[in-house]
Amino acid sequence: MEYFLNQLVNGISQGAIYALMAISYSVVVGVTGLITFTHGEVIMIGAFASFYIFQFVGNNLILGFVASFIASWLIGMVIYYVCYNRFFESPSHISLICTIGISMLIKNLAQIYFGPNQKPMLNVIDNKVFRIGVLQISMIQIIIVITVIVLAGILSFFINKTRWGIKLRTVSQDKKAASLMGVNVSRTAMIGNCIGCGLAGISGMLISVYYQTLQATMGGSLGMKAFSSSVLGGLTDTRFSALGGLAIGIIENLGIAISSASFRDIFAFGFLILILIIRPEGFATKKGARP
């Protein structure tokens, strides 16, 4: 039982990171209206940006956040102009294939420049462990959960309460109508996409700090996790996507508790398949008509 409870704590902190990935994924998909397969690479770039900052500038967590956000923002800009900007009017599989191509390119360039092997992440957080009864909660886990909650809160405020948020939502709902409102659709979608990518970068940093390791090919499975969590939430709904991420994180870790760590992905994707069989639309219940 003790082990089980502690796995639950691990699941929640890992789920929080998946939740941030899923939120960032659904921001990207929501605002561009196109499915992306570059998200894993964006996450990886964020992780490496913070790694190099920690290595060459110093163990400053805030600086790491900023670096991973900016690096992923920039890579998001490249992806936007290569894969989305010219293809809004085209059939959606064109940009989808383009994102797959770009994802391979980034992954392989990363292997050339960052090296193909696993790197140990520097210890940036003093790894204190708090004991509450039988529960063991580490400093890293607390920081992760707080960071994700704060970022999700900021994003939610930005999207729901500001003029810029309304602008993003008009672009996400109807690009033609948005341009008739005088919105520069291309630029707005670019910035929305980059916000999503920046958040993904931060999630990449968090996961590499959590596991104390990072690798140029780490994006593959993480991108799939972000995608699956987001699918669980109905793809474009940030709140339900976060829930999806959290659920996958918890299921994974509870699954490990009853079997072995190498079965991690079986539980994650098995859960996804199960949910999609029971509720094809994911967790989200849509209110109001959709065009």
Partner 1 sequence: MLKIENLSVNYGYITALAGINLEVNKGEIVTLIGGNGAGKTTTLMSISGLVQKASGKITFKGEDITKTAPDKIVKMGVCHVPEGRKIFPVLTVYENLIAGTLGNPTLKKSQISDLVEKNYELFPRLKERSKQNGGSLSGGEQQMLAIARGLMMDPDIIMLDEPSLGLAPIIVEEIFELILKIRKSGKTVLLIEQNASMALSIADRGYVLEIGNVILEGKGKDLLVNPEVKKAYLGG
Is there a contact between 203 and 43 (Cβ–Cβ < 8 Å)?
Answer: yes
Pick 144 or 284: Cβ nearer partner 1: 284
Does 180 help bind partner 1 (rule: CB under 8 A)? yes
Q: How far is the CB of 52 from partner 1 (least distance, A)?
A: 37
Pick 164 or 211: Cβ nearer partner 1: 164
**Which residues, at least 6 apart from 44, have a Cβ–Cβ distance to it below 8 Å?**
106, 107, 110, 204, 214, 216, 217, 218, 219, 222
Is there a contact between 151 and 199 (Cβ–Cβ < 8 Å)?
Answer: yes
Residue carrying structure tokens 């561009």: 32
Pick 38 or 238: Cβ nearer partner 1: 238
Is there a contact between 209 and 99 (Cβ–Cβ < 8 Å)?
Answer: no
Does 166 help bind partner 1 (rule: CB under 8 A)? yes
Pick 179 or 217: Cβ nearer partner 1: 179
Of 249, 218, 269, nearest to 42 by C-alpha is 218
- Judged by CB under 8 A, the stretch of 50-58, 110-118, 167-175, 274-282 that binds partner 1 is 167-175
Q: Which pair of tokens denotes residue 227? A: 């995608």
Say how many C-beta atoms besides its own lie within 10 A of residue 124's C-beta. 21
CA distances from 72 to 114, 204, 247 (A): 16, 10, 25
Pick 168 or 218: Cβ nearer partner 1: 168
Q: How far is the CB of 198 from partner 1 (least distance, A)?
A: 23
Element (H, E) at 157: helix 139-161
Does 177 help bind partner 1 (rule: CB under 8 A)? yes
Q: Which member of 132, 182, 277, 280 binds partner 1 (CB under 8 A)?
A: 182
Does 59 help bind partner 1 (rule: CB under 8 A)? no
Element (H, E) at 214: strand 213-214
Q: How far is the CB of 227 from partner 1 (least distance, A)?
A: 22
Does 91 help bind partner 1 (rule: CB under 8 A)? no
Is there a contact between 215 and 235 (Cβ–Cβ < 8 Å)?
Answer: no
Is the sign of the CA dihedral 88, 272, 228, 176 positive or negative? positive
CA atoms within 13 A on the CB side of 58: 3
Q: Which member of 49, 79, 144, 178 binds partner 1 (CB under 8 A)?
A: 178
Total residues contacting partner 1 (rule CB under 8 A)? Answer: 22
Does 183 help bind partner 1 (rule: CB under 8 A)? yes
- Judged by CB under 8 A, the stretch of 75-83, 150-158, 182-190, 221-229 that binds partner 1 is 182-190
Q: Which member of 62, 89, 176, 262 binds partner 1 (CB under 8 A)?
A: 176
Does 85 help bind partner 1 (rule: CB under 8 A)? no
- Specify the pairing of strand 213-214 against strand 119-120: antiparallel
Pick 85 or 179: Cβ nearer partner 1: 179
Q: Which member of 112, 113, 163, 260 binds partner 1 (CB under 8 A)?
A: 163
Q: Which member of 99, 170, 203, 228 binds partner 1 (CB under 8 A)?
A: 170
Q: Rounded to 5 degrees, what are φ and ψ at 88?
A: -60, -35
Residues that bind partner 1 (CB under 8 A): 163, 166-167, 169-170, 173-174, 176-185, 287-291
